Amino acid sequence: MPSSRPLRVGTRGSQLAVTQTGWVVDRLRAHGLDVDVQTITTRGDVRHDVPVAGLGQDGVFVRELEQALLDGRIDVAVHSLKDLPTAETPGLVIASVPERELPFDVVVGRPGTTLAGLPAGSIVGTSSIRRVMQVRALRDDLVVRPLRGNVDTRLRRLEAGDYDCLILAGAGLRRLGLADRIAEVLEPDAFWPAIAQGALALQTRADDADTRRAVTALDHPATHDAVRAERACLASLAGGCLAPIGGWARMDAAGVLQLGACVLEEAGGRVRRIVAEEVMMPSQEVSADSGAAALGGRVAESLLTKGAAEMLARVRAEASSG
């Protein structure tokens, strides 16, 4: 990163993406860096007329940002880490993962609204296949309808009476200062979040050592290890970020990393799910990096022995035929 110009940070143009990037930029500037923000439109931002899964591939919110990095138009891309495919793009690396926000999904509705307390036939808004399946697993008497758009758009649809409640990522609401809209937090084992939900990724070119060093100041090792374990599990399952897979890893005060994950499948009007959990003691692994990845692999292997491969194959076949 030449000292003659600012650090060029790229972001999507949604309100949440700009807010998240602003949080990152404020901290980079606090470390003495001159920063310039560039907004880049992604395909996922443009196509609101179809569910994300209908856009055909993982990475619909990140590819244009990655191309801007590869072309040298920006130095850092700020992503919601759950949007990044587990297969790293050649020439790019995740250089830093700041401390994670709330990793769980939440119910947004009138005060006191809970998933368990909704009247039968209530309309729940969400387009994530993982969320849809988990809602149906808990309450098959509810109606789940697709919902896309930025957070403001979704909240307006709720207020207009199109839905009785929404299922959203809690991290986004909290980052936008809308934590008061959260009626219920949905946590494992009942409701699993997306892999790496609530975490940000600062992506750089692999050969840009100066920029990598600059953004490392924002790295949060416990969060980085947790999402590394989650993403290793997802990669071992050959599941993309659109697959019905949830997971959550966390480091306790003693340095023990624990990972749980869930794979879902809906067939014959019923949802089947399998869950596996493992822990990594600090003394078990050579390094945190390799240990976290190995933990993810062990959880994935446990899920595979319980039938995850067949479940995911059927889900993919159904999606491709639809």
Q: Are residues 159 and 207 in the same domain?
A: no
Q: In this predicted model, what pLDDT tens digit does every residue of 202-260 receive, in sequence order?
A: 999 999 999 999 999 999 999 999 999 999 999 999 866 568 999 999 998 888 999 99
Q: Are residues 147 and 81 in the same domain?
A: no
Q: What is the model's pLDDT at position 47?
A: 44
Q: Are residues 71 and 207 in the same domain?
A: yes
From the candidates 58, 75, 83, 208, give the one annotated as an active-site residue: 83
Residue 17 lies in a domain: yes
Residue 283 lies in a domain: yes
Pick from 134, 165, 186: which residue ends a domain? Answer: 186
Q: In this predicted model, what pLDDT tens digit does every residue of 172-186 receive, in sequence order?
A: 999 999 999 999 999
For the ranges 37-51, 136-150, 266-280, which has the lowest average pLDDT?
Answer: 37-51
Q: Tokens 């920006």 — which residue?
A: 74
Residue 179 lies in a domain: yes
267 vs 240, higher pLDDT: 267
The mean pLDDT of 301-308, rounded to a whole number, is: 96
Pick from 186, 210, 243: which residue ends a domain? Answer: 186
Q: What is the model's pLDDT at position 158?
A: 97
Q: What is the model's pLDDT at position 267?
A: 84
Pick from 143, 162, 186: which residue ends a domain? Answer: 186
Total of domains in the chain: 3
Long-range Cβ pairs for the range 111-120 (8 Å, 24+): 111/183, 112/183, 113/164, 113/165, 113/183, 113/184, 114/183, 114/184, 115/139, 115/165, 115/184, 115/186, 115/191, 118/142, 118/164, 118/165
Q: Are residues 24 and 145 in the same domain?
A: no
Q: Are residues 240 and 109 in the same domain?
A: no
Q: What is the domain-level CATH number for residue 258? A: 3.30.160.40
Q: Are residues 63 and 209 in the same domain?
A: yes
Q: Are residues 164 and 135 in the same domain?
A: yes
Pair 257, 279: CB distance under 8 Å: yes
Q: In this predicted model, what pLDDT tens digit does every residue of 10-59 receive, in sequence order?
A: 999 999 999 999 999 999 999 999 999 999 986 655 444 444 444 445 56
Q: Are residues 45 and 65 in the same domain?
A: yes
Which run of H or of E encompasses 148? none
Residue 115 lies in a domain: yes
Q: Are residues 174 and 259 in the same domain?
A: no
Residue 94 lies in a domain: yes
State residue 136 phi and psi, 5-degree precision.
-65, -35
Q: Are residues 88 and 237 in the same domain?
A: no
Beta bridge partners of 93: 204
b/e per residue, 113-128, with b = 16+ CB within 10 A?
bebeebeeebbbbbbb
Amino acid identity for residue 27 in this structure:
R
Active site (annotated) includes residue 105: no
Q: What is the domain-level CATH number for residue 116? A: 3.40.190.10
Residue 165 lies in a domain: yes
For the ranges 83-92, 142-151, 235-244, 248-257, which has the lowest average pLDDT?
Answer: 235-244
The mean pLDDT of 189-210, rounded to a whole number, is: 97
Confidence category of residue 282, pLDDT binned at 50, 70, 90: low
Q: Are residues 84 and 111 in the same domain?
A: no
Residue 194 lies in a domain: no
First-to-last alpha carbon distance for the chain, in angstroms, is 46
Q: Are residues 165 and 236 in the same domain?
A: no
Report helix, strand or coil for 212.
helix
Residue 309 lies in a domain: yes
Q: What is the model's pLDDT at position 241?
A: 58
- Counting residues of the chain whose pLDDT is more than 90, the rounded percentage is 80
Range of the domain at 309: 220-322
Q: What is the model's pLDDT at position 52?
A: 45
